[in-house]
């Protein structure tokens, strides 16, 4: 009797880093649960593409992952789970003093609360199998903070702390929890910068370029297959920036 294919839940998978991670895991033979908040048509088409190309099952879910009831509805469709990748995230650039409470809560809801919700519901599935991998997509600004991105930095710093604490909590259950701290990756999130601003940023990166989404995806796939003794780590991929 053949074993079931491994499965992975990837949030925020309709574009950017999440989309690249989905392809890497599909190519590795994982069944996928992919989420987005608005781009349902695009994500459904992508699920069909991955299913046909790699002969896996890819399921699409559209909803606000920062809402607990929505995440509960998602997990009603997931009977077992090997890998959880918390990738969904949004940014906000501006002075903290100009930020509204609604904008603050939106950042925290998507970047931090969603991690709590998905972890809370994924853990029982993984404990049942005495195995699991949780990978949180973080940022270098969670390590050192960024001017004009205080809320985003705070949310990612919290994700890093959650990663370390949860790793200790789940280690006895053979569940590994790690995070990938991304530098400046070539995604839509960075389209807000002008060409001059982006070039100035690249000039500060020793690798002399932006990171690619497929590079982050490759690291995520490596983490999913890393030894079980590797847990509670914040792995930085930033071209030597920090």
Q: Which residue in 16, 84, 78, 13 sits closest to 47, CA to CA? A: 13
List the beta strands (DSSP E) in 37-184: 58-62, 83-86, 132-139, 175-182
Both structure tokens of 32: 């996928």
- CB–CB of 148/103 below 8 Å? no
Catalytic residue list contains 68: no
The residues, ordered by sequence, that sit 6+ positions from 28 with a Cβ below 8 Å of its Cβ are: 221
Both structure tokens of 152: 């985003």
Residues in the chain: 242
- CB–CB of 86/136 below 8 Å? yes
The residues, ordered by sequence, that sit 6+ positions from 147 with a Cβ below 8 Å of its Cβ are: none
Distance of alpha carbon 105 from alpha carbon 101, whole angstroms: 6
Alpha helices in 130-226 (DSSP H): 141-144, 150-170, 195-203, 213-224
Both structure tokens of 131: 């195995």
List the beta strands (DSSP E) in 6-57: 7-10, 31-36
Catalytic residue, from 68, 117, 152, 229: name it. Answer: 152
- Do the strands 175-182 and 58-62 form a parallel or antiparallel pair, or are they unpaired? unpaired
- The catalytic residue positions are 152
């Amino acid at each position: 009797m053949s074993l079931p294919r491994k499965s992975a839940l990837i949030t925020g998978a309709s574009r950017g880093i999440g989309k690249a991670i989905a392809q890497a895991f599909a190519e590795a033979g994982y069944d996928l649960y992919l989420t987005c908040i608005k781009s349902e048509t695009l994500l459904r088409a992508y699920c069909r593409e991955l299913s046909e190309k790699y002969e896996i099952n890819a399921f699409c879910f559209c909803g606000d992952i920062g809402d607990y009831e929505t995440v509960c509805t998602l997990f009603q469709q997931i009977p077992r789970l090997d890998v959880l990748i918390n990738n969904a995230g949004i940014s906000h650039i501006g002075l903290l003093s100009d930020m509204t409470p609604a904008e603050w809560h939106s950042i925290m809801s998507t970047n931090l609360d969603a991690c709590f919700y998905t972890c809370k519901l994924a853990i029982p599935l993984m404990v049942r199998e005495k195995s699991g991998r949780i990978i949180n997509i973080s940022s270098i600004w969670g390590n050192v903070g960024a001017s004009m991105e205080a809320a985003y930095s705070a949310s990612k710093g919290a994700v890093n702390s959650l990663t370390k604490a949860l790793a200790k909590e789940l280690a006895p259950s053979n569940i590994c929890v790690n995070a990938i701290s991304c530098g400046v990756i070539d995604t839509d999130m960075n389209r807000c910068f002008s060409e001059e601003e982006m070039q100035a940023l690249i000039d500060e990166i020793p690798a002399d370029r932006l990171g690619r989404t497929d590079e982050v995806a490759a690291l995520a796939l490596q983490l999913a297959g890393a030894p079980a003794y590797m847990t509670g780590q914040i792995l930085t991929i930033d071209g030597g920036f920090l």
